[in-house]
Copies of this chain bind each other. A is one copy, B any other.
């Protein structure tokens, strides 16, 4: 940590900072500049210490952190990219993970029809929400347990892994028993109660980025999942909230390169929730693969007009087929496959 004193800070104030740092077991180095005194606070555990501890002291102007606040998710901690193996597929490998399916599981026929179709078109995982966190309490909240059972049926009947969202610690057991990947939604990225319970599993967890979370906060939330030893964490970029109002969320395409520079975890992209409208999904999906993402999470519905949730952002089957055909040469162009 770098502690910058105010201009004219007294010797006592500087000593106070130095004493505090030493009391906490840190090394220190003093830089007496021509204008200002700067105290560098050194030690491998500064990342776990709040900058406030020094910022609150008299005569301190600001404190900046050198060590990042996340550790387990960092490339420094684990210099080899993580590959997650499940049910015959690898996430983070050469072959892209294409997770496709309806936003919400609505019925056996709707789910099964979609699952078969996307599997045939090259999807490697089937997605489907059984528990739906909705902005309004008056909106459809999902089929719940019945939806989970239908996902389990897809897994058994079609031999394809399934992913579904967990929103409540009381549902973890049910989901862990029936689906291959548990998804933490954007509104729960910092639901630490939920993250701590999921950290005890050994199942893959897909952690969506919070809609206003920085990349650093996102990786720090991943640390919660990794803290109890679960190594199977997949990041999912899904767009951030900005002032732009022509689409629902602004896809932060750069986060892919940032994650690849600082973390070992695989990252996939959800173009559907960012776009909010099917017309924008293909362009964003193609960009994500070109940028280096390890896969996609896409909403597909056999009849978007009749979808109970998020029909507008769902691709119908012909459009999904068209997109898969367009993605293939791009995947190859960046050394991947579909």
Contact = CB atoms under 8 A, between A and B. Distances in A.
State the main secondary structure of chain A at its contact with B. mixed
Number of copies: 4
Contacts of A195: 137
Given A66-B2, A136-B223, A279-B257, A168 B187 contact: no
B53 A246 contact: no
Contacts of A193: 133, 167-168
Interface string A124-146: 00000000011111110000000
A9 interface: no
B48 A42 contact: no
Nearest to A7: B76
Given A34-B43, A56-B312, A252 B250 contact: yes
A311 interface: yes
A30 B280 CA distance: 28
A303 to B, nearest CB: 10
A287 B280 contact: no
A217 interface: yes
B44 A34 contact: yes
Interface of A: 2, 4, 7, 27, 29, 31, 33-36, 38, 40, 42-44, 48, 50-53, 55-57, 64, 66-67, 69-71, 76, 133-139, 167-170, 187-188, 190-193, 195-196, 211-212, 214-217, 220-221, 223-224, 227, 240-247, 250-258, 260-261, 274-275, 277-280, 282-284, 286-292, 304-305, 307, 309-313, 326, 329-330, 332-334
